[in-house]
Amino acid sequence: MIVDMNTSKELFAPNARPKVVYAKFTRESNGNYTMERARVLDEANQYSRSIRQVNKRTVASELQTAAENGQLFVS
């Protein structure tokens, strides 16, 4: 579960459908990755979509937790 720190509201409910997350990363010369921005595609129905900016720290934390738990896969 990801909680938006600005609004104190959940970004993803535990039983939410799959979401599309756009994240921009920069790779430093020392091998570290920094997230510059994070956005989520919200689909209300097949005709209505919007992209909203979300808290990048919250998304980075969710990615780190998923990687530690073995739930993050790169294809």
**Residue 39, Cβ density class (10 Å: 0-12 exposed, 13-18 middle, ≥19 buried):** middle
Flag whether 18 is in a domain: yes
CA–CA separation, 38 vs 35, rounded Å?
Answer: 8
CA–CA separation, 39 vs 52, rounded Å?
Answer: 5
Q: How many domains does the chain have?
A: 1
Flag whether 75 is in a domain: no
pLDDT, residue 48, reads: 93
Domain with 35, as residue range(s), is 2-64
Flag whether 73 is in a domain: no
Flag whether 55 is in a domain: yes
More confident residue, 36 or 74: 36
Q: What's the predicted TM-score (pTM) here?
A: 0.71
The predicted-structure confidence for 26-67, as pLDDT tens digits, reads as follows 999 999 999 999 999 988 888 999 999 999 988 888 888 888
